[in-house]
Amino acid sequence: MSNKIGYVWNTLYSWMDTGSGPVFAANFEAKLQPISHHMAHPDTKRRFNELVCTSGQMDLLTSIKAIAATDEDILRVHTPAVLDNLKRISGLAGGGDVGDGITHVGNGALNIAYLSAGGAIELTKQVVSREVSTGYALINPPGHHATRNQSMGFCLFNNTSVAAAYAKDVLGLKRVAIVDWDVHHGNGTQDIWWEDSSVLTISLHQNLCFPSDSGFTSERGEGEGFGYNLNIPLPPGGGNAAYHYAFEKVVIPALKKYQPELIIIGSGFDASIMDPLGRMMVTADGFKTMAKMAVDCAEEVCGGRIAFIQEGGYSPQYLPFCGVAVVQALTQCDTIGDSLIGLVGGMGGDILLEHEKQIVDEVEKLLVDLH
Ligand code: 3YP
Ligand code: ZN
């Protein structure tokens, strides 16, 4: 067993063309002005990689090369409709919308999406085989909104699910857990594993943020999968204290009870205190604490097998510090700190409020149906 920490990045991830709109497509009638940086412009993730490179962390990491996922890999969790749709749009000179009216992708998006899912697979493969002990796949586009049948919400293929399905069907694992701390509900991941108890899905998200009609505690899976989907919809404004309480009370106990052979973290940074698309208050250090709790838990339940896979996150200023903080939890060596803490520290997110505690305590009761 090695103590190498795997790291995935590919330059093509920053070639995702999110279009000229601010977040919805630019529109003349609606007076939505074009802008050079869409909310999900990949520069934010490119800047994360560049901070990994310049922080000194790269010397502590082992590069893992992303290999394009195959149609077979994608079809383990998606219907052919998802693939056919993306193949068609990706082939158009100017790209187009994937079908939800929000997600514009450019020409060649299919190839980058294959590489993104493939990056998740490669890291997972090496974590499971112990070529690396843990690792971070900084991939793009993200995945957790993509349902079995539909790309949506900036997500083309459900990367964490593609990796989990690979771990099960190809590597022979029986139980995998996906913990998604992106600020938005992991509705796609929930949908894919809805009737399946072999993948435990846990989503921590801002209540009613996106999609606004899902992510409730009452969504628990069905049939064989009942009890194996946990939603923790936190009230807006929750910060480190709310997230850490949710980890302590729900996420870690659920993982200990479920005893997965592999833990996958859907690591979005849009719950950060600087994010334009979320209203939560997690700091770089807050993300690092969650990462450490998850790593310690993996050591206890699954021989340390844990893979961090990038989801969303839209603050070009702050996301790189959040990302490197998580990487530093893996390398266990701090080379830089949070240079924006002077701005974001002390805003009250470290105090657990009663209405935050209440929702977490409610979800804790649902662990009785998890085995
Ligand atoms: C998709 C359209 C409006 C909100 C946006 C959410 C994307 C995301 O970060 N999902 O995790
Ligand atoms: Zn998100």
What pLDDT was estimated at residue 303?
98
Distance, CA of 40 to chain centre: 14
pTM over 0.75: yes
Ligand 2 centroid, distance to 64 Cα (angstroms): 25
Ligand 2 centroid, distance to 131 Cα (angstroms): 30
Kindly give the confidence (pLDDT) of every residue in the chain, 371 residues in length, as a single tens digit, with 9 standing for 90 and above.
579 999 999 999 999 999 999 999 899 999 999 999 999 999 999 999 999 999 999 999 999 999 999 999 999 999 999 999 999 999 999 999 999 999 999 999 999 999 999 999 999 999 999 999 999 999 999 999 999 999 999 999 999 999 999 999 999 999 999 999 999 999 999 999 999 999 999 999 999 999 999 999 999 999 999 999 999 999 999 999 999 999 999 999 999 999 999 999 999 999 999 999 999 999 999 999 999 999 999 999 999 999 999 999 999 999 999 999 999 999 999 999 999 999 999 999 999 999 999 999 999 999 999 99
What pLDDT was estimated at residue 1?
58
Distance CA 97, CA 108 (A): 13
Length of the chain: 371
Question: How is residue 155 annotated by DSSP?
Answer: B
Q: Which of 145, 184, 185, 244 is catalytic?
A: 145
Which ligand is the nearest neighbour of the Cα of 211? Answer: 1
What pLDDT was estimated at residue 55?
98
**Contact status, residue 179 vs residue 202, Cβ threshold 8 Å:** yes
Active site residue 145: yes
Ligand 2 centroid, distance to 179 Cα (angstroms): 14
Instruction: Name 100's bridge partners.
Output: none
Residue whose entry in the numeric block shows the structure tokens 């893979």: 307
Two structure tokens written together for 259: 């005893």
**Contact status, residue 239 vs residue 282, Cβ threshold 8 Å:** yes
**Which of 18, 104, 154, 208 gets mutated to test ligand 1 (max ligand atoms within 8 A of its CB)?**
154
Distance CA 104, CA 106 (A): 7
Beta strands 176-180 and 96-97, pairing class: unpaired
**Which of 156, 184, 309 gets mutated to test ligand 1 (max ligand atoms within 8 A of its CB)?**
184
CATH superfamily of the 5-369 domain: Histone deacetylase domain (3.40.800.20)
User: Measured from the CA of 152, which atom of ligand 1 is nearest?
Assistant: 1
**Contact status, residue 296 vs residue 256, Cβ threshold 8 Å:** no
Domain boundaries in the chain? Answer: 5-369
Nearest residue to 205 (alpha-carbon basis) of 227, 222, 188, 223:
188
Per DSSP (E only), the strands in the chain are 5-8, 62-63, 96-97, 104-105, 134-137, 176-180, 199-206, 229-234, 262-267, 306-310
**Contact status, residue 264 vs residue 258, Cβ threshold 8 Å:** no
Taking CA atoms, 249 is separated from 175, 265, 294, 301, 314, in Å, by 21, 17, 13, 17, 28
What pLDDT was estimated at residue 2?
76
